[in-house]
A and B are shown apart, each in its own frame.
Chain A
C-alpha cells in the first residue's frame, strides 16, 4: 500500500461536518424496475447478497508545460459492476453496457460463483432511494475551458517569478464529475454525485549542484468555485520556493534522529504508520500488526486518530461510499488506545456489525474494499514554535511526499520533499530529499509533542491496484527518533 500525496499547502481547515444537501439534478442511471430484475437474476443460482454499482464519470484535464498549453484531455467512462456474495465467495463482473440485456449478462457472469443452488426466484424490492449531490457546486463541464487555461498561465508566471533559477514549470488542472448508483438485494438504493477539482504545480530549479524539484497542489471535493477561495499564484509560489530552497540543500543525515513534522506537512505518517493497518480486510486475515489490539495502548496518549469521510470539501469526502453506506466520523485511536478498525460491508458482515462507511472502489471495474477517507490526528495543546525550540538537534520536515507500508510487519517509509536541520532549537540548513523508515507501533509511541496548528492535505492512496482520493491531517508534532535515510 502506498500513497502519493498531491502535496498540498496550508489549505485551511474547513471543519464542517454534516449532511449533504439533497439536490438531485439528474435522472437515475438505471431504472429501478430494471435494477430489481437484474438483482433477482444475479441471485438465481443462490447467494446471500447481490449488488449493482453503476457509475457515469467524466474527467477533464489540461497541462501547461515548458510555457505551452500542451494538451487538453477529456474522458468519459460509464458502466456497472455487479457483485454476488455467496458465503465467503464473491463473484464479480462488469460491463460498459447499461442496457437491461448488458446488465443481465453481467449478472449471470457474477452469479456463476454461487454454488448453494437456487431457491427459486428471489424477488428484490428496492426501498425509495436516497440521493445526494450538492447544488452549490459548479459542474466542471459548465466552465469555459479558456478560464481553466488562464489559471495555468497565471501559475506559470507566478512560479517563474519566484527566482531566476526556476528553469521549468509544469502546471496541471483537472476536474471530474462522478455519478454513482448503488442498489442491492437488501433493498438499498442510493445515489451520489461527486465533483472533484485539483490543481498542481511542479517546478525545476537549476543551480551549481544540479537540479531540484518543488511540488505543490490543491485538491478538493468541490467544483471550479474552489478557485474563488484559493489563489493559484500561491500554490505556484510554494512550489517554486520549495525547489529554490533545495538548491543549497546538503545531504540529509543518516541514522536515527528526532523529527519535527510541520502541521499539514502531509499527515502521511498516520496514513502509513497505522491507517492501512487498521483496515478490517487486513485485520480479518491476521495480516496487520494491529490485529487483536482493540483496547490496547498502541500509541502515545497524545494520539487521537480519526477517519472521517464527512468532512465537507476534503479530498476524501463523499455523501455515500461505494457500497451505498453513509460516511461517518470514526475514532480509531483515542488517547493512544485502539478503539476500532475501519469496515466495509463484507468484512463488517463477517463480524456481525455495520459498515463504517469505508467501502470504496476506484471505478465500476473494481470490487470495493476497506479504504481510508480523511484520516487525521486531533490537534494538541502545544505551540509549534515551542516544539522546535525545545528540540536541540533533529530534522524539521516542512513537507512530506508519499509513503508505503507493510501492514503485516508494520514497517513503513515516508519521504521528505522539504526538510531542514534543527540545530540548537532553531531551523537551519535545507536538506536533500530522503525517506524516513520506521515501525508503526514503535513510532506512534515515540510521539511526545502535538501542537495546535492543524491542517489537512490531499493525497492519492493506492491499494491492491486501486487508487482513491484521500485526505490526511495533523498538527506539528515531534517523534523522539526515526531512522532518516540520508547519505551524510
Chain B
C-alpha cells in the first residue's frame, strides 16, 4: 500500500525540469458517516476521496532568490496531475523572488514509528456502525427524563494515507484511521432548554466508549438547567479540560514561528523571558502515540519531534517549518502543518500538552473557593485576537461557591488578554485528557478574569 502512493508521488517528482524543485503531496482516503434520528438512519455517507498538491520552486535561493508556485486537484487522474503540475509551474513565475523560499531537506532526524492504523475501520460491517449510532441516540434519549431531543447522534470513521516526495530527497509515507461517536442532547424543564454535547474518539470502532459520549452530553446539558445571568465581576475562572484544549490551540498560533517572523505574535522577541506562571511547561510532542495529533512526519516530510515551547514559565522556542525557520535564522523544528492536499505548509503545533499538576477537578474547585467554572466557550473566532492578545468569549458554566459547583450561569462572557491569562494561572489539573485536535487538556484555573453579565 505504501509503495503505490509513494511511487505515484515520486513519479511526479521525476518530471522536474533541470533547476526546478518539486514537492508532491498525494493523499487518499475513505470516509463513512452515519447519522441516527428517532431510531432510524437519517443519513449514511460513504465516500472515497483523493488529491494531489504540488509545489514548484524555481531560481536560486542563495542567488537572486527563488519563487514558489502551488496548485492542487481533488483527483489522482494522470491528466489532472499533469495539468496541476503545469498550473504550479506557471504560478511560480509570478512570485516575488525570495532568498528564504526553499523546500525541506532531510535533516537526519529519525522518524518515530507510530501505529495509527486499526483494521477494524475497514473490516467492521456497515450494519454494526449503523447500530452504534442508533443505539447511542436511543440510550441518550433514555438517559434522563429531561432529555427532550437528540438533535444529532453520529458515528463516523476514516482511513487516510499520505505520501510526500521531493527533488530535495524527501520521501515519507504515513497512514492513519480514526473513528468517533458524537451526540448532542437537548434537555428541558418547563419553558427552559439547555444543550450539551459529548463524544468518544479512537483509532477504530472498538476503542469507542458510547457511554462516555452520552454521559458527557447529558451531564453538560442538565447541569445548566436553571441557568441565569451572573453579576459582572472579576473572579477566578476554572476551565474544563475541553476548553483548555481549545485555549492551548489559541496560544499555539502565537507560538508559530511564521507569526513571529512576520510580526504577528505578541511573543516575538521574548525568548528567554518569563511569560507564564512558574510551573507552566508546554510541550508539543507529536511523537507521543497517545496524542490525537501524533504523527511520524510533518507536512514537509521531516520527522516530527518533541519541542519544549515553555519551560517552567519561560519562553524557550517557537515552532518552525522550513521557510519560516530560514527567515528567522533557525532550523525547522519538524512542525510543518498543512490542511490536506489543498493546503501549503505552515508552522504549527500538533500535539500540545501542558505538564499536568496533581490536583483533580474537585480539589481545584475547593482551592479556588469562589469563582466561575466554564464548561464551554463560544465566539472564539470573533473574540480572540492572537496578534493583540485580546480575549473575550461567551461562556456557559456554573458558579463556584464555597469550593463546590453552585448556580448555573449562561449569557455571560469572560475576558482578559492572553498575555495576562498566562501569567495568572493558579491551578493546573492532574486530570489530563487526550482530546481530538492539536492539544490535550486538563482542568485549569486562571485568576482575575472579567466576568461580564448583568
Contact = CB atoms under 8 A, between A and B. Distances in A.
Chain B associates with chain A? yes
A65 interface: yes
Contact of B148 (A71, A286, A435): A286
A206 B265 CA distance: 11
Nearest to B84: A76
A285 B43 contact: no
Contacts of B417: 487
A2 interface: yes
B117 interface: no
Interface string B254-277: 000000001110100000000000
Contact of A484 (B91, B126, B194, B452): B452
B423 to A, nearest CB: 15
Contacts of A77: 73-75
Contacts of B83: 76
Given A69-B96, A94-B47, A485 B413 contact: yes
Contacts of A113: 41, 44
Contacts of B74: 75-79, 96
A87 B145 CA distance: 28
B379 A409 contact: no
B415 A74 contact: no
B44 A413 contact: no
Contacts of A401: 381-383
Interface in A167-226: 167-168, 204, 206, 210-213
Interface in B36-78: 37-38, 40-50, 68-75, 77
Contacts of B393: 413, 435, 485
Interface stretch (B169-177, B330-338, B384-392, B426-434): B384-392
A61 to B, nearest CB: 9
Contact of B94 (A72, A409, A415, A433): A72
- Between A91, A282, A435, the greatest number of chain B beta carbons within 10 A of the residue's beta carbon is seen for A435
Nearest to A257: B452
Nearest to A406: B195
- Between A74, A167, A401, A484, the greatest number of chain B beta carbons within 10 A of the residue's beta carbon is seen for A74
Contacts of A110: 46
B233 to A, nearest CB: 9
A88 B392 contact: no
A89 B44 contact: yes
A73 B75 CA distance: 16
Nearest to A435: B383
Given A75-B73, A168-B264, A433 B453 contact: no
B80 interface: yes
Given A75-B342, A88-B37, A93-B47, A483 B392 contact: no
B321 to A, nearest CB: 13
A60 B308 CA distance: 37
A75 B72 contact: yes
B151 interface: yes
Contact of B43 (A91, A145, A289, A487): A91
A413 B266 contact: no
B410 interface: yes
Nearest to A411: B411
A483 B451 CA distance: 11
A90 interface: yes
A414 interface: yes
Nearest to B151: A287
B291 interface: no
Contacts of A146: 94
Interface string B210-243: 0000000000000000000100100000000000
Interface string A55-81: 000000010011111111111111100
A437 B151 contact: no
- Between B41, B73, B383, B454, the greatest number of chain A beta carbons within 10 A of the residue's beta carbon is seen for B383
Given A435-B382, A483-B453, A71 B388 contact: no
Given A210-B266, A435-B382, A483 B47 contact: no
A242 interface: no
Interface string A153-164: 000000000000
A74 B91 contact: yes
B351 interface: no
B69 to A, nearest CB: 6
B353 interface: no
A485 B414 contact: yes
B387 A211 contact: yes
Main secondary structure of the interface of B (DSSP, over half): strand
A404 B382 CA distance: 8
A165 to B, nearest CB: 12
A109 interface: yes
Contacts of A123: none
A95 B47 CA distance: 7
B93 to A, nearest CB: 8
A313 B262 CA distance: 35
Contacts of B390: 432-434
A365 interface: yes
Interface in B396-433: 396, 410-417
Contacts of B389: 210
Given A73-B71, A93-B47, A434-B390, A289 B193 contact: yes
Contacts of B68: 70-71
Contacts of A168: 262-264
B149 interface: yes
A256 interface: yes
A112 B95 contact: no
A415 B42 contact: no
B149 A413 contact: no
B152 to A, nearest CB: 8
A246 B73 CA distance: 41
B305 to A, nearest CB: 26
Contacts of B102: none
Contacts of B382: 2, 4, 400-404, 413-415, 435
Contacts of A282: 151
Interface string B274-303: 000000000000000000000000000000
Contacts of B412: 437, 483
Contacts of A484: 413, 452
B413 A483 contact: yes
Given A62-B94, A145-B94, A434-B390, A487 B80 contact: no
A436 B203 CA distance: 39
Contacts of B73: 75-77
A485 B75 contact: no
B452 A212 contact: no
A164 to B, nearest CB: 14
A90 B44 contact: yes
A74 B385 contact: no
A152 B278 CA distance: 45
Nearest to A417: B382
A254 interface: yes
Contact of B75 (A67, A96, A149): A96
B394 interface: yes
16 contacts: A2-B379, A68-B98, A76-B84, A94-B47, A94-B49, A96-B50, A112-B44, A212-B388, A254-B415, A434-B383, A434-B413, A435-B393, A483-B412, A483-B452, A484-B413, A485-B394
Given A71-B95, A76-B74, A415-B383, 20 more contacts: A2-B378, A73-B70, A73-B344, A88-B37, A92-B45, A93-B46, A93-B47, A210-B388, A211-B264, A255-B452, A286-B148, A406-B195, A413-B382, A413-B383, A415-B379, A433-B383, A433-B385, A483-B412, A483-B413, A487-B415
Interface of B: 37-38, 40-50, 68-75, 77, 80, 83-84, 87-88, 90-92, 94-96, 98, 126, 148-149, 151, 186, 193-195, 229, 232, 262-264, 266, 342, 344, 378-379, 381-383, 385, 387-390, 392-394, 396, 410-417, 450-454
Interface of A: 2, 4, 62, 65-79, 87-96, 109-110, 112-113, 145-146, 149, 167-168, 204, 206, 210-213, 246, 252, 254-256, 282, 285-287, 289, 365, 367, 400-404, 406, 408-409, 411-415, 432-435, 437-439, 483-488
